[in-house]
A and B are shown apart, each in its own frame.
Chain A
């Protein structure tokens, strides 16, 4: 029992709570008894002083008379006196004889004495001294009432401490039941996940307390893990699927290659085709690995300030001749837009977008490459006047291995998926829309109506630099 964290916690809580209660009450009781004792001493001192005056005025006789008078008064029931002569013979008072433990001239003491009028010993606070004539005088107070009061006080303190301990035990038990209950939920969920059901989630109670928030965070983590696992599964599935056909073709090619009576030219052609197949597969593999890495957040640690305008200028510079060859104008409008990012991956994303645009832009049209700040957001846009992507298909084309128009060929179906993964890595929003470039372009011959050729605007909206930094921090430790 003591091994569980909660029982240890309860024990500590109990000890601390009881100790502090005992301490508070102890100090309180001690203080009040000390106060009462002090008061008794004061009364005794005053009395001694009064009696000393009587002795000075009327000698032993006067003193004895005063004492006798006081003893007669009902109000002085608690008072104790004893006056003896120099030999210890009693002159007057309500004690039978001088108690042997009391020395005249000592400090005030407390002791049990038998009064003349009482069968049982009583607690007495007393002070004794020797008078100038050799007589001894003892003045005391019956401390019974005070002792009772003190005892009651101490008892109350002990009871209260015990009760407090009991209460804290109960409170601790209730608290631990609550905590254990919530932790138990997490543990049960975790065991179920360990057992193989990755879809399990920790229940939320809607109280928005620490536990609910912890559970929500855990669930978000589980969602992310499930997403990554799903991704991985999708990657392996589609990889297996996608590499199967080129591998089959490759096998066929090599089988053909092994034919003994093959003309050298034919052999060479086969080798070239086999090489092309292998190249295509390797490209896909590289792209898939880049996508997975970006989606897993790898590369964030290499973020640095990047000017989208410079990035666009470099890319435009690289692609302008190729565009020109295809009869397409590459129009650059680059306004400065600073972000934090991975320059290589961003360049790769932009290069993929430009290659897509080049693939689909009709001859005679223009591709627009724009950077700048729009509504406070650094933006990178590639717009073409090609056939565009129907609104219903836009989410789908961002997935791996999805190509809309197989007749256009060439595409691996990974270009936009990589762009999407890189956007996600940068916390950027990727939007596909009908192109504004399409509206004012020279109408190409193979696209007579605007409706047939809405063009495509691909926009990457980046978080503003300081927000980018926060997104990076909140993403937690990167592997």
Chain B
């Protein structure tokens, strides 16, 4: 079953770009160009995700979001904003957006976040033991093992691994990691996350063991069963 995304964006170039990408990724996309129209369609229901631009004609994105939430519509919302400053992002989240993405973004980033929002209900299952191949992470005892080998992880490494495992098979971007683990809503210039990932890789992939964390070019990382 293909999932339905409502795209509310007035900039046609941007909307084309997003709609094409989402279409190729197998989503059914419905588009509208004004806030009023968008709100009308969103209240119709039947969507799995709403991608909402912050600046819209007739009714701005924040108002659309507020009205949707007031009408009891719980569909996940991904907000888009032009050159988002740190404050803008935090405000969008506070107003009830489920995630926030600042323009310009790469399509990979948008896709990763959309995927994360669509799959979210699964996360809420209270799994205490996460696994991938022979890697096991126990959230209750905070232990990680690969096969019979105990892996000593620093607290942040443990969080990072758990975050990746909870999204097994899905792309996790650098900014998603920065936001989730450090609450940093800006992009450091240095490749700090890459370094963290490579340290984590060294710890979980012993000699001869198949690597579990993969780099998805131009997007981020993904932990998945080897094969």
Q: Mark A319-346, 1 if CB is under 8 A from B, else 0.
A: 1011011000000000000000011110
Q: Chain B 77-103, CB within 8 Å of chain A: the 1/0 string? A: 000000101110010000000000010
Q: How far is the CB of B81 from chain A (nearest CB, A)?
A: 12
Q: Judge whether A344 and B195 touch: CB under 8 Å.
A: no
Does B188 make an interface contact (CB < 8 A)? yes
In the bound complex, residues from chain B placing their C-beta under 8 Å from that of A351 are 184, 186, 188
Pick from A342, A355, A412: contact of B188, CB below 8 A.
Answer: A355
Whether A277 sits at the interface, judged by CB under 8 Å, is no
B86 contacts across to A, CB distance below 8 A: 290, 299, 342, 344-345, 348
Out of A345, A347, A355, name the residue touching B190 (CB < 8 Å): A355
Looking at the complex, which one of B90, B104, B188, B199 makes contact with A318 (CB distance below 8 Å)?
A: B188
In B188-227, the 8 Å CB interface with A consists of 188-192, 195-196, 199
A298 at the interface (CB under 8 A from B): yes
**What is the bound-complex CA distance between A343 and B182, given in angstroms?**
11
Neighbouring A residues of B190 by C-beta, 8 Å = 319, 322, 355, 358
Q: Which of A282, A322, A344, A410 contacts B90 (CB 8 A)?
A: A344
Q: Is B185 at the interface (CB under 8 A from chain A)?
A: yes
Q: In the bound complex, do residue A344 and residue B185 qualify as a contact, i.e. CB atoms below 8 Å apart? A: yes
- What chain B residues lie within 8 Å of A345 (beta carbons)? 86
Query: Would you list which residues of chain A between 273 and 290 have a CB under 8 Å from chain B?
Result: 278, 282-283, 285-286, 289-290
State in angstroms the CA–CA spacing of A319 and B183 once bound together.
Answer: 14
A interface SS class: helix
- Say yes or no: A282-B104 contact (C-beta < 8 A), given A299-B87, A355-B190: yes
B119: which A residues are within 8 A, CB to CB?
none
User: How many Å from the CB of A392 to the closest CB on chain B?
Assistant: 27
The number of chain A residues with a CB under 8 A from chain B is 31
Contact A319 B85 (CB under 8 A): no
Q: What is the minimal beta-carbon distance from B223 to any residue of chain A, in angstroms?
A: 18
Contact with A along B35-61 (1 / 0, CB 8 A): 000000000000000000000000000
A289 touching B192, Cβ below 8 Å: no
Q: Which residues of B contact A53 (CB under 8 A)?
A: none
> B89's closest neighbor in chain A, by CB?
A344
B85, A290: Cβ atoms under 8 Å? Answer: yes
CA distance A290 to B87 in the complex (A): 10
Taking CB atoms and an 8 Å cut-off, the chain B residues in 149-186 that contact chain A are 156, 182-186
Closest chain B CB from A145 CB (angstroms): 89
Q: Is B11 an interface residue (CB 8 A)?
A: no
**B85→A289 contact, CB < 8 A:** yes
Shortest distance between the CB of B58 and any CB in chain A (Å):
25
Interface readout for B93-137 with A: 1 if CB under 8 Å, 0 if not? 000000000101000000000000000000000000000000000
**Separation of A347 and B187 alpha carbons in the complex (Å):** 11
The residue that B184 contacts in the complex, of A278, A290, A324, A347, with Cβ under 8 A, is A347
Complex alpha-carbon distance, A410 and B191, angstroms: 12
B residues within 8 A CB of A412?
189
Given known A-B contacts A344-B90, A355-B189, A355-B190, A318 and B182 have beta carbons under 8 A apart: yes
Complex Cα spacing A137 to B102, Å: 113
A5 to B83, CA, bound (A): 49
Beyond known contacts A290-B85, A355-B190: 14 more, CB 8 A cutoff: A282-B104, A285-B83, A286-B102, A298-B85, A317-B156, A318-B196, A319-B192, A344-B87, A344-B90, A347-B184, A347-B186, A351-B188, A355-B188, A412-B189
24 A–B pairs (Cβ distance < 8 Å), ordered by A: A283-B187, A285-B83, A286-B102, A289-B85, A298-B85, A299-B86, A299-B87, A314-B183, A317-B156, A318-B182, A319-B192, A321-B196, A321-B199, A322-B190, A322-B191, A322-B195, A325-B195, A343-B183, A344-B90, A345-B86, A347-B186, A348-B184, A355-B189, A358-B190
Chain A interface residues (CB < 8 Å from chain B) = 278, 282-283, 285-286, 289-290, 293, 298-299, 302, 314, 317-319, 321-322, 324-325, 342-345, 347-348, 351, 355, 358, 410, 412, 415
Please provide the 9 A-B residue pairs with the shortest distance between their CB atoms, ordered closest to farther: A344-B86, A321-B195, A322-B195, A348-B186, A351-B188, A322-B192, A321-B199, A355-B190, A321-B196
